Amino acid sequence: MFYIRYLMDFEDKPAGRLSSTRRLPGITAVGIFLFFGATMSALAGATLIWQRIPPDRVWELNPRAYRLLSPHGSTVGPLFLLLSTTMVAAGIGWFRARYWGWVLAVAIVTLQILGDLVNLLRGDFVRGSIGFAIGSALLMYLLSSKIRGFFATPQSTSP
């Protein structure tokens, strides 16, 4: 939590952005979501690469996914670690109110929605539809004018 607080107070933000961050609780929630997703992706990647380690028990929450992914652990595991790294970068950019952090967050959520849509079309109606609905609502929030404006790149004043 200290690290998140440090990122929110980072000095190189344009004037006025810090107070705006504190007025939008959704900014903090999305940033925490990005770091939580990074942690879960790193855990998934590590347990797929190095199977039969103590954290492997986390797969009891989703045994179907583990059955599908574990045979391909050496291929899929590094992809989860890459996703984790991307989500950490997005979280840092998000809390620093950087435009690229917003772009990464939108890209991550969009890919998640596409994955949920694929699950829905493959017959996993409950997970696919719930994930699609939640992801779509989050994407609509990220694309709202208030959030887009918060992350807008500063306009140059030169002609």
Contact between residue 35 and residue 4 where contact means Cβ atoms under 8 Å apart: yes
Q: What is the pLDDT of residues 77-93, one digit of tens each?
A: 999 999 999 999 999 99
Residue 42 above 80 pLDDT? yes
DSSP sequence for 46-109: HHHHS-SSGGGGGGGG-HHHHHHHGGGHHHHHHHHHHHHHHHHHHHHHHHTT-HHHHHHHHHHH
Q: In this prediction, what percent of the chain has a pLDDT beyond 90?
A: 59
The pLDDT of residue 109: 97
- The confidence band for 3, taking pLDDT boundaries of 50, 70 and 90, is very low
The pLDDT of residue 13: 46
Total Cβ atoms within 10 A of residue 50: 12
Contacts of 60 (CB under 8 A, 6+ apart): none
Q: Give this prediction's pTM.
A: 0.78
Contacts of 35 (CB under 8 A, 6+ apart): 4, 87, 88, 91
Nearest Cα residue to 112 out of 132, 93, 130: 132
- The confidence band for 20, taking pLDDT boundaries of 50, 70 and 90, is very low
Q: What is the pLDDT of residues 23-33, one digit of tens each?
A: 578 999 999 99
Q: What is the pLDDT of residues 44-102, one digit of tens each?
A: 999 999 988 888 888 888 888 899 899 999 999 999 999 999 999 999 999 999 999 99
Q: Which is more confidently placed, 54 or 126?
A: 126
